[in-house]
Structure 1
Amino acid sequence: MDLHDEHALPASDPARPVAPPRTLLLVDDEQNILASLKRLLRRDQYHILTAGSGQEGLEVLASHAVDVIVSDQRMPGMLGADFLRKAKLLYPQTIRIMLSGYTELQAVTDAVNEGAIFKFLTKPWEDHQLREHIAEAFRLKGIDDDNVRLNVQLREANLALAAANASMQALVRQQRHQISRDEVSLGIARELLQFLPLPVIGLDEDGMIAFINAAAASLFERGAALLGNEAALVLPQLFDDLAGTRDAGGQHLAPINGQPYAVAIHSMGVHSQSRGSLVTLTRQGAPA
């Protein structure tokens, strides 16, 4: 069994991807045939391995990645057709060619029908024809390898997409849960503010009245009708003396229904994601 590579590989360019070697296994019990084939095929830059029998060929296949096999039919110990059948069973990714001077039609036909043989060529061979058939076998192997690689990449992409979808669904569930909790918290806060004896008015980012509790509604004549209006227009007494201090949480006294109230505006969002502001009104002791 000769595992010697008959040609020297050219120096590779580190900037270019290195193509995998194209490995060819020649199996024949006649050493002169093997030598002739190696001389013929050396020009095609194959990585050539040789074996003198079917059993040796199986040993080579067990220790080397082989793309194409060219085997004789009549060999001692194991016929070429039987060797190629075993090669197909154990290494189905190989492309298998039979080269023989004996036209045993039935054995060859059976091997072809079983898919064990890609081509059957006779000895003596025509150099050009043999090289073309082997080149065709390597082209077919390259297509098969590309399909396998693309299938692997497709499976990996599908797995990555499935993982991304699972993460997205988990995030959506988390956000929905957070929104649900926020809604509960908001409901509790609104209910708490609603029953406070202290008048409270909630403003959105644009200064529109978004909330008014029961104490504030009873303090002003229009009560709930104030919702949705601009606070500075419908309740100007709360803001007349507050110029320059409204956003800073300043406080001033305002007369409401003949009574003095301390007006304080509290900006939201300092310790939460809330926006807008709360206006609280605290009745003072002396009449305005």
Structure 2
Amino acid sequence: MAEVLDLVLRLVLILAVFLVLPLIVGQTEHKVMAHMQSRLGPMYAGGFHGWAQLIADGVKFMQKEDVVPAAADRRIFSIAPAVALVPYLVVLAVIPIGPGLVGTDLNVGLFFVLAVMGVGVLGSIMAGWSSGNKFSVLGGMRSAAQLVSYELPLVLAASSVAMAAGTLSLPGIVEAWEWWWLPWQAIGLAVFFIAGLAELRRPPFDMPIAESEIIMGPMTEYTGIRFALFLLAEYAGIVVLSALTTVLFLGGWQGPLLPGPVWTLIKVFALAFVVIWVRVSYPRLREDQLQKLAWLGLVPLALLQLAITGVVKVALA
């Protein structure tokens, strides 16, 4: 009974932390983009540095009418936002924050994370198909194509780390990590992070949304809280991607002087800042450029990283 209670308490604590982090990342994106693009509006809401912008956005979404199009498949249309959000929250239960501070340590934790993350993308596909809108359908088709293209390099890059560590357990990977992994796993780090951005449909990989072409893609017909859930899923995805990159490639909680959980959060927020920076700095890629980058760029690089990892493992054996 005590073990069950301890597990429940750990899960509640970790989920509470990670449920707050997406909101903080969303608020940070407002501020960073406001500074980088001289957008003054988000800097004033509530007075000091626009602290109330996030609250104002939440109130705005709650006040909006929840509309379901007459041509929509009502059931699929209603559950699609939850399908987009819940998988990322489930993944957070197996990502370690510090030594022993993890919801549950699965022996196949890496496989579990990659499998569940793929489910999150299905929310956009369901939303696009069920909306009864040609722009939404086109966005859903683009989401499906992007998932197929970028899932392969993402899995290959993660497999390289598992091969190096000799385990699929996420805490086990952090414990096996050494600082000298950084140079010879750098290719895998770049491939994993870029493929993760593409799976989240973050700029410059946001062709499935492309508001200047297909309005908002799968989210075109969504309003109010349902639309807010899609936005929350995006920010939760940023936290998950940043946390996984930290655990797999940057040593997780390892670092000098500061407590382990503090190092984890520092690395997660640093990577989240990079995600925001990339959004501000690079234009949207065309669909053909997206596919070319995946199949002619990231997949060969991921295979090269696997070969390098194999050679290093044999050399050290």
Which interval holds the TM-score relative to the shorter structure?
under 0.3
Higher helix share: 2
Q: Which has the higher contact order (CA 8 A, sep 6+)?
A: 2
Scaled by the length of structure 2, the TM-score of the pair is: 0.23
Higher strand share: 1
Instruction: Give 1 or 2 for the bigger CA radius of gyration.
Output: 1
